[in-house]
Amino acid sequence: MAGSPQDSNRPQNTRAIMTFLREHAPFSNMDDAHLAHFAEHATLRFYADGDPVITPEEGVVKRFYVVKQGRICGERPSEKEDRTETTFEISVGECFPLAALIGERPTRTLHRAAGDTFCLSIEQDAFVTLFSDSEPFRDFCLRGVSSLLDQVNQRLQSKAMASMGSSNTLDTPLENYALRNPIVCSPDLPVSKAVARMHDNNVGSIIITDDNRHPTGIFTLRDLRTMVAEGKSPLDTPIGQVMTRNPSSLTSDADAFEAAMLMAEHHFAHLCVVDEEEHLIGVVSERDLFSLQRVDLVHLARTIGTATHLRTLVSLRSDVSRLVDSMLAHGADSGQVVKIITTLNDVTVRRVLELNLKRNDPGIPFTWLTFGSEGRQEQTLLTDQDNGILFQTPEGMTADQVREKLLPFARTVNEELAECGFTLCKGNIMASNPKLCLSGDEWDEWFIRFIDASTPQNLVYSSIFLDMRAVYGDTEPLRLLLDKVLTRIRKNALFQKMLAGNALQRKPPLTMFRHFRYVSDGDHRRALDLKRQGLAPFVESVRVFALANGVETANTLERMSALVKKGIFDAKDGNAWREAYSLIQAIRMRAHQEMLKEGEELSNYIDPDDLNPLDRRILRESFRQAQRLQQKLEVTYQF
Amino acid sequence: MLERIRQWIERRKGRQIGEHDFSNLPEPKTSGNLLLDDCRLIILDLETTGLNPARDEVIAIGAVAIQGGVIHLDDQFDLILRRPELNIDETVLIHGIGNEALTHGHETQDALLYLLEWMNGDPILAYHSAFDQKFLEKALKLQIGYTRNHLWMDAADLLPALFPDIKPGGKGLDHWAEHFGLEFSTRHHAAADAMATAELTLIAINKAIKDGVKTVEQLNTKLQYHRRLQNMHRF
Three-state DSSP string of B134-175: HHHHHHHHHHHCCCCCCCEEEHHHHHHHHCCCCCCCCCCHHH
Residues A369 and A351: their CA atoms lie apart, in Å, by 15
Q: Is A41 part of a structural domain of the chain?
A: yes
* A269 shares its domain with A306: no
pLDDT of residue B54: 81
Cβ contact A365:A474 at 8 Å: yes
- pLDDT higher than threshold 90 for residue A38: yes
CATH architecture of the domain B37-234 equals: 2-Layer Sandwich (3.30)
Interface probe, candidates A43, A46, A63, chain B, greatest B C-beta count within 10 A = A46
Most confident option among A176-190, A323-337, B141-155: B141-155
Cis, peptide link before residue A26, omega less than 30° from 0: yes
- The domain total for chain A is 3
For A67-79, what is the mean pLDDT?
Answer: 81
Query: pLDDT band for position B93 (50/70/90)?
Result: very low
DSSP state of A275: -
Interface contact B195-A13, CB threshold 8 A:
yes
Q: pLDDT tens across B121-142, in order? A: 999 999 999 999 999 999 999 8
* A452 shares its domain with A594: yes
Interface contact B73-A47, CB threshold 8 A:
no
Residues B171 and B189: their CA atoms lie apart, in Å, by 19
Q: Is A220 part of a structural domain of the chain?
A: yes
- pLDDT higher than threshold 90 for residue A225: no
* A241 shares its domain with A353: no
Global pTM value? 0.47
* A336 shares its domain with A283: no
Q: Which of B73, B180, B207 sits opposite A14 (nearest CB)?
A: B73
Interface contact B74-A51, CB threshold 8 A:
no
- Contact residues, chain B, for A3 at CB < 8 Å: none
Between A364 and A342, the more confident residue is A364
Residues 6+ apart with CB under 8 A from A76: A84, A85, A87, A108, A109, A110
Residues A123 and B36: their CA atoms lie apart, in Å, by 22
CB-based contact, B107 to chain A, within 8 Å: no
Domain that holds residue A357: 297-636
Interface probe, candidates B44, B73, B180, chain A, greatest A C-beta count within 10 A = B73
Which ipTM was obtained for this model? 0.83
CB-based contact, B168 to chain A, within 8 Å: no
Q: pLDDT tens across A525-569, in order? A: 568 888 888 899 999 999 999 999 989 888 999 999 999 999 999
Q: Is A36 part of a structural domain of the chain?
A: yes
Q: What is the CATH number of the domain that holds A50?
A: 2.60.120.10
Please choose, from the candidates A308, A301, A299, A312, the residue with its C-alpha nearest in 3D space to the C-alpha of residue A346.
A301
User: Is A70 in a helix, a strand, or coil?
Assistant: coil
Residues A445 and B167: their CA atoms lie apart, in Å, by 86
Residues A549 and A545: their CA atoms lie apart, in Å, by 6
Residues 6+ apart with CB under 8 A from A366: A389, A390, A391, A392, A406, A473
CB-based contact, B214 to chain A, within 8 Å: no
Interface probe, candidates A7, A8, A10, A13, chain B, greatest B C-beta count within 10 A = A13
- Contact residues, chain A, for B202 at CB < 8 Å: 44-46, 118
Q: Is A155 part of a structural domain of the chain?
A: no
Residues A161 and A263: their CA atoms lie apart, in Å, by 9
* A274 shares its domain with A302: no
Q: pLDDT tens across A387-399, in order? A: 999 999 998 999 9
Cβ contact A440:A477 at 8 Å: yes
Radius of gyration of chain A (CA): 29
**Residue A343 burial by CB count (10 A; 0-12/13-18/19+): exposed, middle or buried?**
middle
Q: pLDDT tens across A179-209, in order? A: 567 889 999 999 999 999 888 877 788 999 9
Question: What value does the mean pLDDT of chain A take?
Answer: 81
Query: pLDDT band for position A369 (50/70/90)?
Result: very high
* A513 shares its domain with A387: yes
Segment (H or E) for A135 = helix A135-142
Residues A625 and A537: their CA atoms lie apart, in Å, by 10
pLDDT of residue A155: 44
Q: Which of A39, A48, A69 sits opposite B73 (nearest CB)?
A: A39
Query: pLDDT band for position A172 (50/70/90)?
Result: low
pLDDT of residue B2: 52
* A125 shares its domain with A273: no
pLDDT of residue B133: 94
Please choose, from the candidates A603, A599, A594, A557, the residue with its C-alpha nearest in 3D space to the C-alpha of residue A329.
A594
* A255 shares its domain with A332: no
- Contact residues, chain A, for B180 at CB < 8 Å: 116
Q: What is the CATH number of the domain that holds A249?
A: 3.10.580.10
Between A496 and B186, the more confident residue is A496
Q: What is the DSSP string of A347-416?
A: HHHHHHHHHHHHH------EEEEEEHHHHTT---SS-B--EEEEEPPPTT--HHHHHHHHHHHHHHHHHH
Most confident option among A18-27, A251-260, A334-343, B41-50: B41-50
Please choose, from the candidates B6, B15, B221, B206, the residue with its C-alpha nearest in 3D space to the C-alpha of residue B107.
B15
Interface contact A44-B199, CB threshold 8 A:
yes
For A216-228, what is the mean pLDDT?
Answer: 88
Measure CA of the first residue to CA of the last residue in chain A; give whole Å: 49
* A282 shares its domain with A338: no
Query: pLDDT band for position B42 (50/70/90)?
Result: very high
Q: Is A504 part of a structural domain of the chain?
A: yes
Strand ranges across the sheet with A244-245: A184-185, A205-209, A215-220, A244-245
In whole angstroms, how far apart are CA A101 and each of A95, A195, A264, B106, B114?
A: 11, 55, 31, 42, 38
For A50-60, what is the mean pLDDT?
Answer: 91
Instruction: Characterize A461-497 residue by residue with b for buried, 16 or more Cβ atoms within 10 angstroms of its Cβ, and e for exposed.
Output: bbbbbbbbbbbbbeeebbeebbeebbebbeebeebbb
* A284 shares its domain with A314: no
Q: Is A147 part of a structural domain of the chain?
A: no
CB-based contact, B160 to chain A, within 8 Å: no
Last residue of a domain, which of A142, A159, A186?
A142
User: Is B10 in a helix, a strand, or coil?
Assistant: helix
Query: pLDDT band for position A65 (50/70/90)?
Result: very high
Interface contact B181-A11, CB threshold 8 A:
no
Show me where the domains of chain B are located: 37-234
